[in-house]
Amino acid sequence: MMEQTERRVISVIVMNEASVLSRIAGLFSGRGYNIESLTVAPIPESKYSRITIVTAGSVRVVEQITKQLHKLIPVLKVYEHADLVETEMALVKIPMNESLGDIEALTHAYNGRIVNVGSDTMIVMISDEPMRVNHFLEAIKRFHPKEIVRSGSVALER
């Protein structure tokens, strides 16, 4: 019996201290959980950091992940519910010989802009929901992107 697997976003508040990231990454690899993306940064003016993990698993697995995260000593809170506002950023390097106007229009539609222009290439940045980032990366293909980097999701509960 295969259980239904679905994409889940888990937001974790942890003490901002050495090796906390490896505790979390180690928990996922050690117990065979999947990490699609992971971001971490300190929460300003506090002793905490927020880690946003995108994973996939059945309801049972995600419940187990949440409990195991709670068990780690430096973990303060774990948010695991659907009602999160989620955003991701992407940078794309495009050759200069493509149509600047078309690129700018497309980028604009995804809350983005051109952030760097060099002699041979330019870099555009967009920031949007992960699904829309996918759409953008599909659409930008016709401008022959040379390199793409995605930030991974950040999320905040409503």
The span from the CA of 35 to the CA of 25, in Å, is 8
Residue 39 C-beta: closest distance to other proteins, Å: 20
CB-wise, 61 or 103, nearer to other proteins? Answer: 61
Residue 8 C-beta: closest distance to other proteins, Å: 17
Residue 36 C-beta: closest distance to other proteins, Å: 22
The span from the CA of 36 to the CA of 152, in Å, is 8
Per CB under 8 A, residues contacting other proteins are 14-15, 18-19, 22-23, 26, 30, 60, 63-64, 67-68, 70-71, 73-76
Q: Phi and psi for 33 in degrees, rounded to 5? A: -85, 155
Residue 64 C-beta: closest distance to other proteins, Å: 6
CB-wise, 6 or 63, nearer to other proteins? Answer: 63
SS3 33: coil
Do 123 and 93 meet the contact criterion of CB atoms below 8 Å apart?
Answer: yes
Relative orientation angle of helices 20-30 and 59-71, to the nearest 10 degrees: 140
CB-wise, 15 or 114, nearer to other proteins? Answer: 15
CA distances from 65 to 16, 26, 55 (A): 21, 12, 10
CB-wise, 19 or 119, nearer to other proteins? Answer: 19
